[in-house]
Amino acid sequence: MAGADGDDSLYPIAVLIDELRNEDVQLRLNSIKKLSTIALALGVERTRTELLPFLTDTIYDEDEVLLALAEQLGNFTMLVGGPEYVHCLLPPLESLATVEETVVRDKAVESLRKISQEHSPVDLEVHFEPLVKRLASGDWFTSRTSACGLFSVCYPRVSSTVKAEIRQHFRTLCSDDTPMVRRAAASKLGEFAKVLELDYVKSDIISLFTALASDEQDSVRLLAVEACVSIATLLPQEDLETLVMPTLRQAAEDKSWRVRYMVADKFSELQKAVGPEITKNDLVPAFQNLLKDCEAEVRAAAANKVKEFCENLPEDSREQIIMTHILPCVKELVSDTNQHVKSALASVIMGLSTILGKDNTIEHLLPLFLAQLKDECPEVRLNIISNLDCVNEVIGIRQLSQSLLPAIVELAEDAKWRVRLAIIEYMPLLAGQLGVEFFDEKLNTLCMAWLIDHVYAIREAATCNLMKLVEKFGAEWAQNTIVPKVLGMANDPNYLHRMTTLFCINALSEACGQDITTKQMLPVVLKMSNDQVANVRFNVAKSLQKIGPVLDSNALQTEVKPVLEKLATDTDMDVKYFAQEAISGKHFCLPLEVIERSVQVGGRVFFLPTRQNLLCLLNAKRDCSVQSFDKEIMWLSYPNSIYQTTLPFCTVLCCNTDCIGLIKELPRPVVMGTSSVVKVLLIIIPPPNPR
């Protein structure tokens, strides 16, 4: 490890500290963000003796700089010499935990919590716990709020005398003069209860909980509701009634709607925490009240929980409770005066059908679905449509299709383009459930009409929708129903519609396969290269580039290349540019065997332009020798998921692209392309360092 002990001549501390003091905030911020590098240059000894004291002394700066500092220090253990010296980090973090700005303070607390784990039990008592005590008895409220977040991390690892002190401090903060501190304490009450011995939960926590839950400020009371969940989970069933329920009942009927909202919002958690008996006796009536609350906010929060609440009811009496207690309230909510309430309900109501079964759904729920499908508010209708799958499983979608169609048509023609966009997004789902016949008969025209919408976002979404439909119904279906219509638009007098043809071809070529693309689509694209509008022409170039991978090499050479070469001499400079781009082949994808080869060569560039090729690569991984492959790629996955790795040195890159390049200059992988069809996560191990 070169430079681990620092090099005085190369990195005099003065120079580094100058950087940290730079007048320009941005430069100062940059330097702070690279504080670990500075520490590395100085070595562990001088980091402890020179850098940290400097940082501790200069904690008056822009909050943004302080935030970066607070974050950095949480990862500094190795840089000060390991766990043995980790307590050196406490003084600067202590100061940071007292600043006014909440984000800085929170970050400092987060870092303190992190490094508390790296303290030995002795150090924890000698260094860490006194810090917590100092913060807890600070003058200004900021240090006391910070202290609230630190009790739970040190409590389990200290001696019983110190434990008693910590409990005492927490008690004091729960009745602090400042509401800010009480709020902080209330929000950490549940967390603290979890690390306490059960006896102390009963003797200490309950009284604090009761006091906070009846605080004069509703902002404190509502935080106690959150703590209620954790506390109830900790206590044995027989104690809940006496210790928790009086407070919970009171919260559900609090005069402030904020508290009731919180109860509604946490209802499922509360339900799980108190168990089936109390749910039956207490929570059911409480839930009914929340569904009928005078404030729409509360009703909406409760409506959101209807499905989850019903799902978690004890099985023996579930149906009876729903039918006699919950459903009547739900019926009322369907015609609520507030649209948020209705749309919250619409987003979960379909879920009830799986719980109630076929007959009840048809008799009781179906009328509600139908009413909501006709609601005046588009959100409500959308929410129903977006959850059709639940109903489909229970009663089949046919029951609904009569009402569904007018609702879909109306949304499809809504004056607000965002509404239209939302319904387009559900089209593939609907198509899958309604089946190809129903679709062809009723919805196909809609899908085609969107292609000539006057809003670009709709046309774009419509294009993407076609692609998904083809993926669902197959190439043959596409050839018969969609492709002719799309290609017909190539002769439209409106150039925007002609361009839509190109965009559709871009999207469909892959799903339709080589045959359709070469025989039907390519001629149209090539013909459009003579379009009088330059925008169309350069989109031809882009399209050719895009569909290139699907075409066979013969067509590429004999048909595509001449046209591109002609476009490359176009009078319009954009057309020229894109034609040249296409010719230079940057976006052409490499055939599969090349991918494989490039992977085995190691460090060579490869391309993954499509989902298929990505899959190919994954398959290739299994075929090629694991050893050589593992040097390059540990794991490749899509979409957007993160696989944990145990290997230490890797670069992780998450990108929104379908093209990934891998180059030799690791650890910086380079991402190319911007289209967002497939999201890829790539984890790469750099080759062994030459040094």
Partner 1 sequence: MSAISASEKVDGFTRKSMRKAQKQRKSQGSSQYRTQSAPVELSPLPQLKDAPSTEQQELFTQKLQQCCMLFDFLDSVTDLKSKEIKRATLNELVDYVSTNRGVLVETAYPEITDMICTNIFRTLPPSENPDFDPEEDEPTLEASWPHIQLVYEFLLRFLENPDFQPSIAKRYIDQKFVLQLLELFDSEDPRERDFLKTILHRIYGKFLGLRAFIRKQINNIFLRFIYETEHFNGVAELLEILGSIINGFALPLKAEHKQFLMKVLIPLHTAKALSLFHAQLAYCVVQFLEKDPTLTEPVIRGLLKFWPKTCSQKEVMFLGEIEEILDVIEPTQFKKIQEPLFKQISKCVANPHFQVAERALYFWNNEYILSLIEENIDKILPIMFGSLYRISKEHWNPTIVALVYNVLKTLMEMNCTLFDELTSSYKADRQREKKKEQERDELWKQLEELRLSNPTLVHGQNRKILKNNNPRYGPSDSSWDNEGKTCSQLG
Q: Which CB, 103 or 126, lies closer to partner 1?
A: 103
CB of 116 to partner 1, least distance (A): 19
Residues in Cβ contact with 234 at an 8 Å cutoff, skipping those fewer than 6 apart: 193, 194, 198, 201
d(CA 187, CA 225): 9
DSSP 3-state of 424 = helix
> CA–CA distance from 613 to each of 517, 593, 609, 619 (Å)?
18, 11, 7, 10
Q: Which CB, 566 or 586, lies closer to partner 1?
A: 586
Q: Which CB, 227 or 489, lies closer to partner 1?
A: 227
CB of 652 to partner 1, least distance (A): 4
CB contact burial 565-577 (16+ within 10 A = b; e otherwise): eebbebeeeebbe
CB of 612 to partner 1, least distance (A): 19
CB of 351 to partner 1, least distance (A): 12
CB of 306 to partner 1, least distance (A): 13
- The Cβ-side half-sphere exposure at 51, using a 13 Å CA radius, reads 30
d(CA 313, CA 320): 10
With beta carbons less than 8 A apart as the criterion, state whether 82 and 73 touch.
Answer: no
Q: Which CB, 3 or 562, lies closer to partner 1?
A: 3
DSSP 3-state of 654 = strand
CB of 482 to partner 1, least distance (A): 26
CB of 297 to partner 1, least distance (A): 4
Displacement of CA 115 from its chain's centroid (Å) = 27
List Cβ<8 Å contacts ≥24 apart for 48-55. 48/80, 48/81, 48/85, 48/88, 50/13, 51/13, 51/16, 51/17, 52/80, 52/88, 52/89, 52/91, 52/92, 54/17, 54/20, 55/20, 55/92
- The Cβ-side half-sphere exposure at 240, using a 13 Å CA radius, reads 25
Beta strand 651-655 with 633-637: parallel, antiparallel or unpaired?
unpaired
CB of 71 to partner 1, least distance (A): 9
DSSP 3-state of 52 = helix
Q: Which CB, 45 or 359, lies closer to partner 1?
A: 45
Q: Which CB, 264 or 270, lies closer to partner 1?
A: 264
Q: Which CB, 28 or 163, lies closer to partner 1?
A: 28
Q: Which CB, 325 or 604, lies closer to partner 1?
A: 604
Beta strand 659-661 with 670-672: parallel, antiparallel or unpaired?
antiparallel
Q: Which CB, 155 or 309, lies closer to partner 1?
A: 309
Q: Which CB, 19 or 241, lies closer to partner 1?
A: 19
d(CA 563, CA 64): 55
Question: What DSSP string runs through 70-83?
Answer: HHHHTT-TGGGTSG
Q: Which CB, 491 or 651, lies closer to partner 1?
A: 651
Q: Which CB, 64 or 165, lies closer to partner 1?
A: 64
CB of 319 to partner 1, least distance (A): 26
Maximum distance among all Cα pairs of the chain, rounded to whole angstroms: 87
CB of 438 to partner 1, least distance (A): 24
Peptide linkage before 667 cis (omega within 30 of 0)? yes
CB of 257 to partner 1, least distance (A): 5
Please name which of 338, 246, 331 lies closest in space to residue 299, comparing C-alpha atoms: 338
> CA–CA distance from 649 to each of 631, 634, 640, 646, 667 (Å)?
11, 11, 21, 9, 9
CB of 603 to partner 1, least distance (A): 10
**Interior CA angle at 512 toward 439 and 533, to 5°?**
95
The distance in angstroms from the start CA to the end CA of the chain is 9
